[in-house]
């Protein structure tokens, strides 16, 4: 059972448990689950309600109810490249050609299936909470929360722009200028469920980039997203006339590589329980490095 503990400070003396837990970023939904799904709120080892008045020095402990994985989610013994792991989060370097979560087209063999198997071996009763999802053919760092509450906190960070990802991509041709920002709105293309395009009625999308090198009639580009629209990098560089190598959905060619040459190489977030900023890196995978 996932538990969190705190000591009430002098400044929090006289606060209701409800307000105290709100200060700890525990959502109303989580409180409802704790109340009705088998969780507990205790002060100094005694069960209390959210109306209990706290005193300085009290120990507050919250036990969250056990999580149930979906009946459609199957644990599979798929190798994982784990970059970092603790009791709250796991950072994985996802290979290309692996979906992040199951779908109708890819019901198994996903990162989520591999993580469930990893959790089972740790005797961790949890389902998979992906914070930074990647397209199936995009490789690189993925941040996953080990509990619903942790996911809630990190998702709030993401909305505030505090979860940062840097990408590297290979584009056809010579991107100019060497450093730039693409600020062009993105929306669905026609009736397509998958494809996106730059269009006036789309959502604002901002991509910052810097060319690292020109090589073999390609541009090796470092990319930082300001917004996170679906297929944003792929659409923006296609819009510039420099589609990603291998991205045949948006005008790239697959003679050299059988997927879009896009890799999430750097991930930064503020760890809410260790209270420090953490940054992780993943080198270019073999297929992209080979092209350079």
Chain centroid to CA 20: 28
| CA 31, 32, 36, 38 torsion-angle sign | negative
Nearest to 61 by CA among 70, 71, 48, 72: 48
Residue 244 DSSP class = B
Q: Which residues are catalytic?
A: 135
Query: Which residues lie below 8 Å from residue 26, measured CB to CB, with a gap of 6+?
Result: 62, 149
- For 10, phi then psi, to 5°, come to -60, -35
- For 28, phi then psi, to 5°, come to -60, -35
**Which DSSP helix (H) or strand (E) runs through 106?**
none
The whole-angstrom separation of Cα 220 and Cα 212 is: 5
């Amino acid at each position: 059972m996932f538990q969190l503990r705190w000591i009430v400070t002098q400044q929090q003396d006289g606060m209701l448990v409800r307000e105290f837990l709100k200060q700890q970023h525990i959502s109303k939904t989580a409180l409802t689950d704790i109340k009705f799904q088998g969780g507990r709120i205790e002060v100094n080892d005694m069960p209390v309600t959210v109306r209990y008045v706290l005193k300085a020095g009290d120990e507050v402990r919250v036990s969250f109810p056990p999580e149930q994985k979906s009946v459609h989610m199957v644990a599979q013994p798929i190798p994982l490249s784990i970059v970092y792991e603790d009791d709250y989060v796991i950072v994985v370097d996802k290979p290309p050609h692996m979906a992040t979560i199951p779908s109708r087209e890819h019901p198994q063999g996903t990162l989520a299936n591999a993580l469930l198997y990893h959790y089972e071996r740790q005797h961790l009763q949890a389902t998979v909470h992906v914070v930074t999802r990647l397209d199936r053919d995009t490789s690189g760092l993925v941040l996953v929360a080990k509990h619903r509450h942790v996911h809630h906190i990190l998702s709030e960070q993401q909305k505030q722009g505090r979860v940062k990802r840097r990408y590297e991509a290979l584009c056809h041709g010579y991107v100019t200028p060497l450093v730039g920002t693409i600020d062009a709105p993105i929306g669905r293309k026609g009736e397509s469920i998958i494809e996106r395009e730059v269009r006036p009625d789309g959502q604002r999308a901002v991509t910052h980039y810097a060319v690292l090198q020109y090589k073999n009639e390609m541009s090796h580009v470092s990319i930082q997203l300001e917004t996170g629209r679906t297929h944003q990098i792929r659409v923006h560089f296609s819009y510039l006339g420099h589609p990603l190598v291998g991205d045949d959905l948006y005008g790239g060619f697959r003679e050299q590589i059988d997927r879009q040459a896009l890799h999430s190489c750097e991930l930064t977030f503020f760890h809410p329980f260790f209270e420090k900023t953490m940054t992780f890196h993943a080198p270019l995978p073999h297929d992209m490095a080979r092209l350079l």
